[in-house]
Every structure is written in structure tokens, then in C-alpha cells.
Amino acid sequence: MNIREQIETLKELQRIETETVGIQSVLNGISDRMAVLETRLGEYQGRLRNQETQLEALKKEYRGMEMDAKDLQSRMKKAKGRLNTVKTNREYQALQKAIDEMKGENSRLEDDMLARLDRLEGAETELARLREDYDAFQKQMTDEKAAVSAEAANGEQKLGELNSSREEVARKADQRLIDRFQRVRRISTLAVAPVSRAVCQGCNMNIPPQLFNELQRFDNLHNCPHCQRIIYWDKPPEPDVIE
């Protein structure tokens, strides 16, 4: 395998590694996206539970008010029945005063019950809205999970194809060339870089003139003296000849 062929092999390895890193990043991002969805679902569930708890507390308070109202109505009825049985004016006035106080208490209780009904209605409306939002998000999450699963399956398939390509290249290439590539990759994910106009495109630094001349002869592999990447001459295209 001559130098030009070695360079093409290294470029192919670099392409495979770059695509692999990109796909792996996407797959890692998928896990993050799923975690975000699960967190949001938990938030929706938490809001629903809180609203259901508040609504149940309001209903319990209202049932207690109803019991108090029934008890008060019963006491008022009994007191009114006793009015015809009292024997003195003083007893009559005291009983009538008690009845008036119960009427006032009953009026306040009715006002409180009406206010509590308003709060119950508002709480039920809010709960219905939260349930609609929750159902809508569940549908969105189901759709998102399906899309993410398809994306993950596609990514895994591509990773498998890239791994096969990597193995194929490794079988054809000299192991020393593969080892050299891997050593540089431990320093930088971009192990191979072209040189254009005596500038390494990996680190954007000028290389020595002598090294640039050697690159153009394609008689050996070289590393950039600045970034240590494996470099090759990116020969500019020939200009079009106008006849």
C-alpha cells in the first residue's frame, strides 16, 4: 500500500470515526430527551394529584357545612316549637333571642356554603383543564417515544454498518497504520487533517516549508509539528483550460 493509498485509508477511518461519534452523540441525546419527557410527565401527575387533593378537601369541608346546617335547622325547629310552651315573657324573650342568633348563624353559614360552592366549581374546572393537558401530553409523549425509538433504531443500525466498515478497512490496512491512527485519536478526535497552502487545517498553523515540500512528494506519512495530527497535502484542483 503506497502513501496515497495509506492516506485514503486514514481518511476513510476518520470518516467512520467522525460519523460514529456524531451518531453516538445523538443516541446519548435521545436518553436525555426521554429523561426530560419522564420529568415533565411526573410534573403533570404531581399537579393533578395536588388539584385532586385540594378538591377533595373542599368537598369534605362542604359536607361538614351541610351537616352543621342540618343540625342548626333542627335546633331552630325545636326552639320555635318551644315558643308556644314557655310560661313567662322573660323565657319567651330569651328563646326568641336564641332563635334570632341561630338565624344569623344560619345566614352566615349559607353565605359560606355559597362561597365554598364557587371554590368547588373553580377547582373542578381547573382539574378538568389539568386532565386535558395531561391527556394531551401523554399523547405527545407517546408520539415522541415512537419517534425516538425509530431514531434510536436507525442510529444503532448505522453504528453497526460503520463498525462493519471499520473492520473491513482494518482487514485491508497494515496494523501499524491503524495503530498510528489510534494513537493520534487519543490526542484529538480529528486524527487526520489536510494541508492547504502550507497551513494545517486541523490547527490552522503554518507548517515548515521543507515539510510542505515533502508532503507534496507523497513519499512518507507526516505529523503536524504543532497539533500532531497526521497530515497530507490537499492538492488544489487543476484550473480549467480555455481553448
Per-residue pLDDT at 237: 62
Segment 187-243, tens digit of pLDDT: 888 999 999 999 999 999 999 999 999 999 999 999 999 999 999 998 776 555 454
To the nearest 5 percent, what fractions of the chain are helix, strand and coil? 75, 5, 20
Mapped onto helix, strand or coil, the DSSP state of residue 85 is: coil
Per-residue pLDDT at 68: 94
Q: Is pLDDT at 10 greater than 80 in this prediction?
A: yes
- Cα–Cα dist 148/33, whole Å: 9
Confidence of residue 63 (pLDDT cuts 50, 70, 90): very high
- Cα–Cα dist 61/52, whole Å: 14
- Cα–Cα dist 209/77, whole Å: 113
If we measure between CA atoms, which residue out of 184, 198, 194 comes closest to residue 232?
194
State the distance between the two ends of the chain, measured CA to CA, in whole angstroms.
Answer: 38
% of the chain with per-residue pLDDT over 90: 78
- Cα–Cα dist 226/211, whole Å: 12
Domain boundaries, the chain: 12-173, 177-233
Per-residue pLDDT at 30: 87
Confidence of residue 160 (pLDDT cuts 50, 70, 90): very high
Per-residue pLDDT at 243: 47
% of the chain with per-residue pLDDT over 70: 97
How is domain 12-173 classified at the architecture level of CATH? Answer: Orthogonal Bundle (1.10)
Segment 72-121, tens digit of pLDDT: 999 999 999 988 888 899 999 999 999 999 999 999 999 999 999 999 99
If we measure between CA atoms, which residue out of 134, 146, 190 comes closest to residue 13?
190
